[in-house]
């Protein structure tokens, strides 16, 4: 980059440019499918800059997730804190805990311009990534928020056996991840109206109704038998 341009550049701008380009390209072409050469060209930085600032491609991938996911999960936890505080000694309603959990994701999908929506899609795909290190990373990054929410749901749904709850949280997680990630598959497979796909308010209502009912569902079949035993 020439000195005239450099003078205009805030410190660490290069890092940010790389992260932004990486986010967009990882979504478009996947991790394996995105070459450092394409990435650095898109970011308008030198090929060696990635290695200099992040150390390796894998480390870059991690940085991409950390940049958004850490604040996002912190926000999720804060949301739950606020909710429990306002409920006082009473347990909050299940639907409100669900909303608290969804909120951070839904806020992000409304932000198409600065890449939030793109990131959410990338994130949704990460749970099923071929690369084990990536899945491990995601698990780690989510762990604190998940622990916190698991405890909250245990309080809110005291009737539900623990292992049943774990599965239902998994289902909830899956519904959310998939809904946000498989955005074009909706209308490919089921034929929904495209304009509704990113309406956060509508999505919140739809998801909350669905998930609340699912979490509160009565036990049936072998699960009910198990519990009775």
Partner DNA sequence: GTCTATACCACGATAGAC
Partner DNA sequence: GTCTATCGTGGTATAGAC
Nearer to DNA, 36 or 87 (CB): 36
Q: Which residues contact 212 (CB under 8 A, 6 or more apart)?
A: 94, 95, 98
The torsion region of residue 12 among left (phi > 0), alpha (psi -120 to 50) and beta comes to: left
The whole-angstrom separation of Cα 46 and Cα 50 is 8
Q: How far apart are CA 214 and CA 205, in angstroms?
A: 14
Give min distance, CB of 43 to its own copies, in A: 19
Residues 103-142 that bind its own copies (CB under 8 A): 121, 124-125, 127-131, 135-136, 138-139, 142
27 binds, among its own copies, DNA, none (CB under 5 to 8 A by kind): its own copies
Judged by beta carbon distances under 5 to 8 A according to partner kind, the member of its own copies, DNA, none in contact with residue 83 is: none
Taking each helix axis from N to C terminus, what angle separates 200-216 and 94-110, rounded to the nearest 10 degrees?
Answer: 150
Output 182-185 pairs: Cβ under 8 A, ≥24 positions apart. Answer: 182/124, 183/121
Residue 13's binding partner, choosing from DNA, its own copies, none, with beta-carbon cut-off 5 to 8 A by kind? Answer: DNA
Identify residues 29-88 at the interface with DNA (CB under 7 A).
Answer: 34-38, 45-53, 55-58
Tokens representing residue 44 in the block: 């308008």
C-beta separation of 21 from 39 below 8 A:
yes
Q: Is 229 in the site for its own copies (CB under 8 A)?
A: no
Which residues between 147 and 166 bind its own copies (CB under 8 A)?
150, 163-164, 166
CB of 222 to DNA, least distance (A): 44
Query: Using CB under 8 A as the criterion, which residues of the chain lie in contact with its own copies when the complex forms?
Result: 27-30, 32-33, 121, 124-125, 127-131, 135-136, 138-139, 142-143, 146, 150, 163-164, 166-171, 173-175, 177-179, 181-182, 184-186, 188-193, 196, 201-202, 204-223
């Amino acid at each position: 980059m020439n000195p005239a341009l450099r003078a205009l550049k805030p410190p660490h701008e290069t890092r940010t440019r790389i992260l932004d380009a990486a986010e967009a390209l990882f979504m478009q072409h996947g991790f394996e499918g995105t070459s450092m050469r394409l990435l650095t060209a898109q970011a308008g930085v030198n090929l060696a800059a990635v290695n200099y600032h992040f150390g390796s491609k894998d480390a870059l991938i991690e940085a991409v997730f950390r940049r958004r996911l850490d604040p996002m999960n912190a926000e999720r936890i804060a949301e739950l804190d606020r909710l429990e505080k306002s409920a006082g000694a009473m347990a909050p309603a299940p639907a409100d805990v669900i909303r608290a959990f969804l909120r951070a994701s839904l806020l992000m999908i409304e932000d198409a311009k600065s890449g939030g929506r793109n990131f959410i899609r990338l994130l949704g795909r990460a749970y099923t990534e071929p690369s084990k290190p990536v899945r491990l990373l995601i698990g780690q990054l989510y762990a604190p928020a998940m622990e916190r929410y698991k405890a909250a749901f245990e309080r809110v749904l005291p009737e539900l056996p623990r292992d049943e709850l774990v599965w239902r949280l998994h289902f909830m997680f899956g519904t959310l991840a998939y809904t946000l990630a498989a955005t074009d598959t909706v209308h490919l497979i089921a034929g929904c109206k495209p304009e509704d796909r990113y309406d956060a308010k509508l999505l919140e209502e739809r998801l909350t109704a669905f998930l609340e009912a699912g979490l509160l569902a009565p036990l049936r079949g072998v699960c009910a038998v198990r519990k009775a035993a």
